[in-house]
Structure 1
Amino acid sequence: MNTKALRQKILDLAIHGKLVPQDPNDEPASVLLERIRDEKERLIKEGKIKRPKKAKATSDKPHYPYELPKGWVWCKLSDCCHIAGRIGFRGYTKDDLVEFQKGAITLSPSNIIDGEMDYNKCTYISWDKYEESPEIEVLEGDILLVKTGSSFGKCALVDKLPWKSTINPQFVILKYISINEQYLTWVLQSSYARNNYNDFVLGTAIPTFTQVVLGNMPIPLPPISEQLKIVNKLKHLFLSINSLENNKKSLCTLIKESKSKVLDLAIHGKLVPQDPTDEPASELLKRINPKAEITCDNGHYQKLPEGWCECSFDDIFNITMGQSPNGSSINHQQGVEFHQGKILFGDKYLKQSDMFTDAPTKLATPNSLLLCVRAPVGVVNITQREICIGRGLCSLKPNAAINLDYAYHTLTTYQSDFESKSTGSTFKAISGSIIRKEVFALPPLKEQHRIVAKIEEIFAQLDAIETSL
């Protein structure tokens, strides 16, 4: 379920008058609008607000986006509120910034998260700078709307204001709101409003729109009692959607924990039963690598399952530590792919002719494990093709004693262990000697195949649940 799209659909129904039934006994919105205009004239005469500028008329007869229900009326945004912004020359500089609560909060677009105000990270400016622009002092019940920058159109209703506040130049502030503030906020957050913002915006490097064009945006105005009904209905529905989202997040967390538990059971021999007829891992490993130092129990893997043994990474992998080639050889669009850190395929190449000049070049062969040895330590992947590896990577080529997929699933459980053994101040890294000596609990080869099949079966079911979310 796309809850974001669901919210927008519900808002669309609300502002089209299709979310709650109309009551013929409600006072028509046209009467409300006349009162609003009278009140606005009073505020202008008292000098509390300025008369809004008029946009250039495009036609004698206004064009409205869609037909409204009986009792509703179209108005301009500037009819139902006063729009103010920070005047350019009053914009503040870094010299106006002060420490926490040594001045007023200056709110920015980053203080709006998911359509609501968030005050966890606030910037403060001096009281002198704050008092220069009393017309943009932020109060409870105001609406903040971004008019410039990449997040233009982002808006929220101000509530639970923690400190005296103002706005930065990216915002406009809607004050003296004459209709239900929450209803107006949701209109401004609707896809209808977003389409208007996209039409209003000028510029590409720094998109922006003016207060004049914003003030002339048509707003669907219901009777005041219906506004309240719409708000209450939306609150109820959005609460249900929030519950769905929280349940979705909880389920995703549970899926992640379940996968981790499956892998934990797998590497401890508890995911599938042992088969006494399987060739023990120690016997197979001795044939493949007679020099392998094998034990069947120790403090790290106590009570190993029947047929399992303990060995080092060096016993079961051909380990190659990466070496970065000369920088001038990189970025060619053909040759062998070059990778330095976290494994992202297909971005850089190394010419075949440059591979063994200036600095030794290390290759990872197909069907090898790639392990990040620094930034970030412990991330693992599989390469299906030959690539050149830099200092940030290590190649682990399994020998015949270990299944590639089993090795991959097991190594994903080693990240925290590798991180704890990494060293360095500028960035953490893990050495080849530590990797070679790392212990590995090795099951019989046939059991490895059964474990991989069971992991993939369970993971497919969990992935299907996650995809359906």
Structure 2
Amino acid sequence: MKAQDLKNSILQLAVQGKLVPQDPSDEPAGELLERIREERAELIEQKKIRRPKGGESVIYREGNSWFERCGKSEPACIDDEIPFDIPESWEWARLETVTSYIQRGKSPRYSSIEKYPVVAQKCNQWSGFSLKLAKFIDPDTVASYAEERILRDGDLLWNSTGIGTLGRMAVYDSHVNKYGWAVADSHVTVIRTKESWLDFRFAYLYFAGPSVQLRIEDQASGSTKQKELAQETVRNYLIPIPPIEEQRLIVEKVNELMPLVEEYGRLEDAREKLDAELPDRLRKSVLQLAVEGKLVPQDPSDEPAGELLERIRGERGELVKQKKIRNPKGRESVIYREGGSWYERRGKSEPVCIDDEIPFDIPESWEWARLESLCRVIVDCPHSTPQYLANETGYIAIDTNCIDDRWHQTDGRNLSKESYESRVSKYVPQIGDIVFTREGSIGRSVILARENVCLGQRVMLMSTEPYALYNKYCQIVLSSAYAWLIYKKANVGTGVKHINVATVKSLLVPIPPLAEQRRIVEKVDQIMKLIGA
């Protein structure tokens, strides 16, 4: 059961007389109402309260039905209005007949002088009453407010207009009003009770409960854009009346239970948050386990990554001599293990210990290498905005908006053949190349699955050496928690944050044997399908 459903159940049980037992020694509600009617008659005679339109309502039970008599009119059966059964010692009454004041506020003349606050709908939240968002009345108009309009402790403040806010209620509390004075605006109805007639806290429980809140819009007038609860509708609301002592016991019981419901709600929110985050957490954990060599077992029959890299370095050396690829800046990186440490040598320079760069241990058959040493090419996007076209042309550009965080290409932006050719003059993207976002939504990647694609803005491209670094395994590394920590540290820029191409080129990549890279990719795909990530 949801926390809100549990709260609604408690409120409904409370106002149906099922939360606390009835005490036969309590004064029955019928006698309470009789005394209220006598006191109201005196107040009406003294013109301190208004006489109800159509005369005072008297509701009584006869047999299995409920009847209402207003003034001297004939009784009418109101069974179709009665929302639920109540105990024998309880009665039903119209709200107006058990309260001393029901009145909509009035539209004020506002002022920038923060002295006399006016309670608007936004001041009334289910979490409580607050004047943090209140506006203020022109001090010159304060004298025009009758004494009865000045809010008092225990006044029920009921939002009487709006969509979504209609029916929201709060209780006025002078302790949270540092101004010592407040009135309601025209969107709020003030309901005032007398302590010996109706406990305002019980009334609040009833009007906050599902029997009222689930039906309130049906009882309001207006359109789907604006609903309004007429003042007469509020006055004529039926409310169950327990004996006055039982009203107080009900309030105490609800107050005792609500902290438990709130705690239940916090646990529910935490669980729902965990449920929502779990696939992403699992995805991150799986990717990290993958790049640490902990997702699939190592196979001794696989060619060790060291031999693989040695062969690739030989092939790359030949390509450099033939001027088919460029030598990396600072010469080719060679990373090797010696004793318990890792060293890097570039060209003929002296080896340097890079233990402080190594983020985690890897299996014996694995090696570390710079990403640049594992790619045929790593290129940045042209630093210009292409001329995009509305119609499909067969040529598209990919930018950060076209790649989601699950390795999917979600879109592409059309451009002319001429624009496309100008953007691929240095390198023509191929099927299987990786496009990587380095600005804005950093760290997303996609493997190209079609031709005639070029780079839009804020992305870069890498073409991996297929016999050294499987492109799908490369994606796993680029998306791992390890890589994200590097992106976060390298995030630069005063406006939109970005990472430099040099940072990506120098990324240390844990290299398994090529066959193991493929097994890792297969296992990751299987797990991602299972967890829906």
TM bracket, shorter-chain basis: 0.7 to 0.9
Residue in 2 that maps onto 1:190? 209
SS of aligned partner of 1:197: coil
Give the counterpart of 2:83 among 65, 68, 81: 65
Cα deviation, residue 158, structure 1: 3.4
Give the counterpart of 2:249 among 210, 221, 229: 229
Given that 2:109 and 2:141 are in contact with CA atoms closer than 8 Å, whether structure 1 keeps it comes out as no
Cα distance change of structure 1 residues 429 and 212 upon mapping to structure 2, 3 Å threshold: same
Q: Counterparts of 1:385 and 1:53 in 2: how far apart (Å)?
A: 77
Please give the per-residue CA displacement for 1:316-338, whole angstroms capped at 9, x wherever unaligned: 696775986657628x9x99898
- Pairing 1:123–2:134 present: yes
SS of aligned partner of 1:329: coil
Give the counterpart of 2:157 among 139, 144, 147: 144
Residue in 2 that maps onto 1:206? 226
* Unmatched tracts of structure 1, length 5 or more: 464-469
**Alignment RMSD (CA, Å):** 5.0
Cα deviation, residue 204, structure 1: 2.2
Given that 1:288 and 1:400 are in contact with CA atoms closer than 8 Å, whether structure 2 keeps it comes out as no
User: What letter corresponds to residue 4 of structure 2 in structure 1?
Assistant: K
Aligned residues: 446
TM-score by length of 1: 0.72
Stretch moving more, 239-248 or 318-327: 318-327
Cα deviation, residue 44, structure 1: 5.0
Q: Counterparts of 2:41 and 2:431 in 1: how far apart (Å)?
A: 78
Residue in 1 that maps onto 2:178? 163
User: What letter corresponds to residue 203 of structure 2 in structure 1?
Assistant: L
Q: Counterparts of 1:34 and 1:234 in 2: how far apart (Å)?
A: 27
What aligned pairs does 1:327-366 form with structure 2 within 5 A after superposition? Answer: 329=390, 341=401, 343=404, 354=415, 356=417
SS of aligned partner of 2:6: helix
* Unmatched tracts of structure 2, length 5 or more: 56-69, 317-327, 337-341, 343-353
SS of aligned partner of 1:442: strand
Give the counterpart of 2:357 among 297, 300, 310: 300
Please give the per-residue CA displacement for 1:310-369, whole angstroms capped at 9, x wherever unaligned: 524895696775986657628x9x9989886484999x97786x5557788999989967
User: What letter corresponds to residue 311 of structure 1 in structure 2?
Assistant: R
User: What letter corresponds to residue 194 of structure 1 in structure 2?
Assistant: Q
User: What letter corresponds to residue 103 of structure 1 in structure 2?
Assistant: K
Cα deviation, residue 166, structure 1: 3.6
Cα deviation, residue 232, structure 1: 2.4
SS of aligned partner of 1:193: helix
Q: Counterparts of 1:227 and 1:156 in 2: how far apart (Å)?
A: 19
Please give the per-residue CA displacement for 1:153-200, whole angstroms capped at 9, x wherever unaligned: 112233452423443443222223542222211211112112331112
Q: Counterparts of 2:127 and 2:449 in 1: how far apart (Å)?
A: 48
Cα deviation, residue 383, structure 1: 8.5
Please give the per-residue CA displacement for 1:438-461, whole angstroms capped at 9, x wherever unaligned: 624425263795599589869979
TM-score by length of 2: 0.65
Please give the per-residue CA displacement for 1:188-245, whole angstroms capped at 9, x wherever unaligned: 1112112331112222222222121122121122222222232222223322222222
Give the counterpart of 1:173 among 162, 167, 190: 190
Cα deviation, residue 73, structure 1: 1.3
Give the counterpart of 1:423 among 474, 477, 493: 493
Given that 2:291 and 2:476 are in contact with CA atoms closer than 8 Å, whether structure 1 keeps it comes out as no
Give the counterpart of 1:240 among 260, 265, 268: 260
Q: Counterparts of 1:130 and 1:370 in 2: how far apart (Å)?
A: 64
User: What letter corresponds to residue 234 of structure 1 in structure 2?
Assistant: V
User: What letter corresponds to residue 480 of structure 2 in structure 1?
Assistant: T
Cα distance change of structure 1 residues 447 and 356 upon mapping to structure 2, 3 Å threshold: closer
Residue in 1 that maps onto 2:370? 311
SS of aligned partner of 2:480: helix
